[in-house]
Every structure is written in C-alpha cells, then in structure tokens.
Structure 1
Amino acid sequence: MRRAAAAALLLATLSGAASAEEALTVCLEEDVPPLSMKRGKEGAGFDLEVARRVAALLGRPLRVQWYETEADPDSQPDRQVNALLSDGKCDLAGGYPLAARALGRPMAERAKLPDFDGARPEDRRRWVALGTLVPTPAYRAGAIGVVMAPGKPAPQFRHLAELQGLRIGVEEKTLPDAIVTHYRGGMLLGTVTHVTAGRPLFEGLARGDYDAVVVELHRYDAWRARHPDSGLTLTEYRHPIAFNFGFVGLSTAAPLVQAAGAAVTRMREAGELPAIAERTGLTYAPPQVPEVTPPLRTAALRDD
C-alpha cells in the first residue's frame, strides 16, 4: 500500500509539470502483433493501449511515432531506438526489453535511425549521437512456451526434457533457439528443425512437419489471431528465462521517465495490465524479478 501511495503522489507531482496540451510522444514498432500495429492512420495492440493509459494518467494526449526495425537477427534495435529518442523523435519508447546490455550508456557513440513515419531520404543517412537510456518499471514479461501441432495433446509438463523424442521446431538465431541448443548438453538437438524467423515456424507446425515448437508467446498470439481454426494448442509450460519489457527514455528526461514509471506502477498495483492483455489478444505474463535482466550466461540455458 505504501508503494502504491508513493507512486500516486509522484505521479500527481510530476504529471503536473507538463502542460495538458503537450502530447506525450511514444515510439512504437509498427508491425509486432499483438503488441503494436499500425493500420492506416489507426493503431492497435497491447503496448499501444498501455501507452494510452500512461498518457491519460499523466493528463496528456498521446502521439505515436511509428517505426520499423530490420528483421535481420544481427541488427541492433536497441541503438536504433536510442537514436530515435536522442534525435527527439519521441519522449519515450514502449515495448523495450529491460536487459542490462540494452540500457545505460551504449557502447557506440552514434547510430543511424530506423525507418519511421515521416522520415525523409536524408534521415536514413544521418548519424545520431546516442544518449543514456533509463527504464520505467516493467509492464509485462516476454515468456517462452511450447505450442503443439494439430491433433497432438497438450501435455502438462515441467521440463523441456519431457519433449525428448518429439520433433521440435525453433526459429534460428533467437532466444528459444539458444535454449533448445544448449538444453542439457544438446539432448533435444537430434529431433530439432531450425527455420528462418517469421511465418514458416507456425506454417510447418500446422502442416505437421514437427510436433511442437518452442517460441515466444506473443508470436503464437499473432498466429492465433490470423488463424483461429489452425488447431494449434498452447501448453501451460513456461521457461524460467523471460525478459521484462517497459518504457525507456533518456537520462536527460529523468523526471518524465519517473512519472511514466509511477503510472506503470499504479497500473500494476491496480491489476489493469492483464485486462488490457485480454482485450488485445495477448497471453499475459507478469513482470519477473529482477526488473532488469542481467547478461545471460550459457549455464542458465542448460536447464529449466
């Protein structure tokens, strides 16, 4: 109760510092269903609804700066988001992974901007001096689970070892890939199929190319929304490794980040986030402790 009261007091104090006419501009990715999606002039998704609620609690209208990062697994979206903030394109960025390596002062001094709404040709050539990123409390965790093929039962199990003998699909160069690859010395690798990131993972599962996939839950939610009759089944298994996601801003805008953080804390205390997730079609996973995930060691991938 004391924490909630302190957050409410901080929220009231800091939100009053900005004019009610001044929009809160939040950077969101434009095609990450069901988290954030731009559809014409409108938008949808869990991250967008959370941003709207935060803006409302701050007493400010919301403006969204849509952007798109590269699909290449070797790209550096943390630097691109930093560039957007450092170039003044937005006040906060939502849906940002609260990982130690992606916060604080970046290793690079400069970065280029990603594609964003309203970008001019010269914007893609500019280098932006990067700032220091500071986070709000998290508003969700990016949980990893197991989805079964049509006609396959959804067994109740506690460890991935119980999938031994089944054909497993996983997207290459992802955290689920690293988990499956290192799990118990590679005990699952004999029946693993690696696929490129995107629709092929679920298309193959729907065809019966494999029996199960290990994947981030929001990816399954996106597939389910497009293919409600696919027959895929989400199990109750959740891997213990799960990065938290929240808002980030520049350290030079610390009062605003604090105010947004107080709004997130209020939403968490009031139980608002699961309800927003249900409305937007997201399988909700609450934030984990610690709020900021330290660098992962290979040993953490070897068991569950």
Structure 2
Amino acid sequence: MNTPRALITSLLVGPVLAFAQAAPLTVCMAEDNPPFSMARKGQVTGFDVKLAEALARELGRELKLVPFEPEVEKEAMLTHEVNAMLSAGLCDLASGFPLLASDLGPPTRERFKTPDHPGAKPPRDRQWITLGTLVPSQPYQGTALVIVQRAGSPVAASLGDLKGRKVAAVAGTLEGTLVAMYGGGALAKDMVSLGQREDMWAALESGRVDALMVPSAAFDTHRARRPGTTLQAGPARPLGINLGWVALSSKAELLEAVNRVVARGASSGDLQVWAREAGLSWQAPSLPAVSGSLSLAGLLRD
C-alpha cells in the first residue's frame, strides 16, 4: 500500500520546521560597553542583555549572545564592523547602535572584515565580507551629557556655570571639544587638558580639576566600579542621538519584534527597571528617531 503524500510530507517537513523554529536568536553586542553590554569570563551582562532576553521570550527562541571588540584604528568604523558581523551570518541583530542616518541604509563600502569575536581568525586571515543594507529598529535609549563635580560643589547645569573653575577637556572627545569651543573660548583660561589615557576621575577626585563633562553612561559606569564615590552629576543634557538595534534588510521581521518589545517595555516601565538593574540612567529617546547629524551649535547653547 502506498503511503499518502501528505504523510510523507509531514514526516520530512515536520522535523525541518521544528529545527528552524528552535534555531537560536543570535545578537551581537560590544564586549566592553558598560552599562549596555560587557563580557567577562564568558558571561555577557548589561541593559542590552535584558532587552535581548525579553526579545527571545517574545519570539520563543533560545538566545545566543556574540560579544565583539570594535577596532581602535582610525580607519575602522563601527557601522562597517557591525554590518560585517551581520552579513557574515554571525548574528541576526546587533544592539547599542547609534541611529545616525549616515550609518544606515546601503553601505558606503562594498566589503569589510569582521572585528574580534569568539572563534575569529587572526585579522590578516579573515575574509572580506560583502556588506548588506542596515535597517534600524525604533530607539530604546537616548544619549546625554552630564557635568560631574565633587560633592559640595555648586551644581553646574551648563558649561556657563563653570566659568572660573578648572574644567577638564579630554583631547579627541566631543566633550573636550565642547569645553574648548564654549563661548568662543570662555573657559580656556581655566581649562585643563587631559590625554585620553589619563585617569580623568582621579584628576577630579584629587582636585586637579573641578569639573568634567562626560556621557551620562560613562558616569554610570564609574559609579558601578566605585560604589562609594561622592562625585555628583548635574542635569542631563540630551545629545539628540538615540541608540537602537540594527539588522540586514532581509531580517525586517526581527526588527518588528524588537519594536514591539521596546514599545511594551516603555509603556509598562520595564525599560526603566532593566536600566536600573544594569546601573544605567535611562534616557528617553528624542525626536527624530534617526538623527541626520550632531549639532555642535545646539550643544553649545546654554
């Protein structure tokens, strides 16, 4: 007796479908970007991990995290590295991506190598990966700058409040540029230049400088590493750049799931809870969701 075609199909296709549904959700995260993501001793923790876990539950899939180390050379660009990871099939999604229009859409380079990641070959032996088109999710976190001072100092809400005080300007950073340019050099007389390898927190705590401007997430990280610190931050100043997730255009359905999780987390307060658990000061995303550029003139206004 012939076996019905439908039965044969179910026997052959059923296990394949079950395997496809069981395929893990792979997410790339920077390995040293606390409090968003940090890899230590084989474990990845941080705010982005909380969101990834919620996304895996939403999709009913096992979660696999792939930490990577962005290159430090000037010619290397995060957008190309993330694109290479996605285009090589190493992950389905990448978290913590600055939503700038210039870094999204079709790539500006045809090929790029992946950054360091578990199992990667030495850089010279890695293949050049043909890059795809990057598509963003809705933002889940805004970015901001804060002015940090020692306890007991008058709280500074803007750079204008720091006139007459020793203000740190870390070379090669956005914050250092803002300090140097503010008011046409109004802070230059008391400005203290620091190299990127200098310990700016030690400079502040020792009194070498009276204040410094940093991303709010950087101060969150310092507080996590030094729980007893008495340093204090003034009001957050939004940068107008949001963080989101990215995927290749062929994975648009995953970004729709990210958007559902983010929207639900924002309305329920889960995003704020996850941020607090990760030691992050949550910043509401700003409009527009994807920024065209960073306005120094806007940041220099009090």
Aligned-partner SS, 2:238: coil
**Structure 1 counterpart of 2:163, one-letter code:** Q
User: Does 2:224 align with 1:225?
Assistant: yes
Aligned-partner SS, 1:143: strand
Cα drift, residue 156 of structure 1: 5.5
**Cα deviations by residue, 1:160-180 (Å, 9 ceiling, x for unpaired):** 211111111233222222322
Cα drift, residue 285 of structure 1: 0.9
**CA gap 1:124/1:98 in 2 versus in 1, 3 angstroms:** farther
Structure 1 partner of 2:102? 101
**Structure 1 counterpart of 2:263, one-letter code:** T
Structure 1 partner of 2:275? 277
Cα drift, residue 72 of structure 1: 4.8
Structure 2 partner of 1:161? 160
User: Does 2:300 align with 1:302?
Assistant: yes
User: Does 2:110 align with 1:112?
Assistant: no
Where relative contact order (Cα < 8 A, 6+ residues apart) is larger, the structure is: 1
Aligned-partner SS, 1:116: coil
Stretch of structure 1 that moved more, 108-117 or 289-298: 289-298
Contact preservation (8 Å) 1:147, 1:234: yes
Structure 2 partner of 1:57? 58
**Structure 1 counterpart of 2:189, one-letter code:** G
**Cα deviations by residue, 1:248-295 (Å, 9 ceiling, x for unpaired):** 001121122222222222212222111001111111111111111111
Structure 1 partner of 2:251? 253
User: Does 2:189 align with 1:193?
Assistant: no
In the aligned structure 1, how far is the partner of 2:131 from the partner of 2:193? 35
In the aligned structure 1, how far is the partner of 2:47 from the partner of 2:74? 23
**CA gap 1:161/1:73 in 2 versus in 1, 3 angstroms:** farther
Structure 1 residues not aligned, in runs of 5+: 1-16
**CA gap 1:66/1:233 in 2 versus in 1, 3 angstroms:** same
Aligned-partner SS, 1:55: helix
**CA gap 1:297/1:280 in 2 versus in 1, 3 angstroms:** closer
In the aligned structure 1, how far is the partner of 2:55 from the partner of 2:80? 24
RMSD, aligned CA: 2.3
Larger radius of gyration, structure 1 or 2? Answer: 2
How many pairs align?
286
Structure 1 partner of 2:48? 47
How do 1:70-219 and structure 2 match up within 5 A?
70-72=71-73, 75-121=76-122, 125-149=126-150, 151-155=151-155, 157=157, 159-197=158-196, 200-219=199-218
Q: State the TM-score, normalized to the length of structure 1.
A: 0.86
In the aligned structure 2, how far is the partner of 1:87 from the partner of 1:66? 15
- Moved beyond 6 Å, runs of 4+: none
In the aligned structure 1, how far is the partner of 2:286 from the partner of 2:19? 31
Q: State the TM-score, normalized to the length of structure 2.
A: 0.87
**Structure 1 counterpart of 2:71, one-letter code:** E
In the aligned structure 1, how far is the partner of 2:182 from the partner of 2:97? 27
In the aligned structure 2, how far is the partner of 1:18 from the partner of 1:144? 46
Cα drift, residue 239 of structure 1: 2.0
Contact preservation (8 Å) 1:92, 1:249: yes
Stretch of structure 1 that moved more, 48-57 or 193-202: 193-202
**CA gap 1:208/1:73 in 2 versus in 1, 3 angstroms:** farther
In the aligned structure 2, how far is the partner of 1:61 from the partner of 1:98? 27
**CA gap 1:164/1:223 in 2 versus in 1, 3 angstroms:** same
Contact preservation (8 Å) 1:154, 1:234: no
**Structure 2 counterpart of 1:286, one-letter code:** A
**Structure 1 counterpart of 2:238, one-letter code:** P
User: Does 2:287 align with 1:289?
Assistant: yes
In the aligned structure 1, how far is the partner of 2:180 from the partner of 2:63? 42
**Structure 1 counterpart of 2:23, one-letter code:** E
**Structure 1 counterpart of 2:182, one-letter code:** Y
Cα drift, residue 301 of structure 1: 3.7
Contact preservation (8 Å) 2:166, 2:190: yes
**Cα deviations by residue, 1:196-241 (Å, 9 ceiling, x for unpaired):** 3366121211222101110011111111111122321122x22232
In the aligned structure 2, how far is the partner of 1:257 from the partner of 1:26? 12
Structure 2 residues not aligned, in runs of 5+: 1-17
In the aligned structure 2, how far is the partner of 1:59 from the partner of 1:123? 38
Aligned-partner SS, 1:249: strand
Cα drift, residue 42 of structure 1: 1.6
Structure 1 partner of 2:4? none
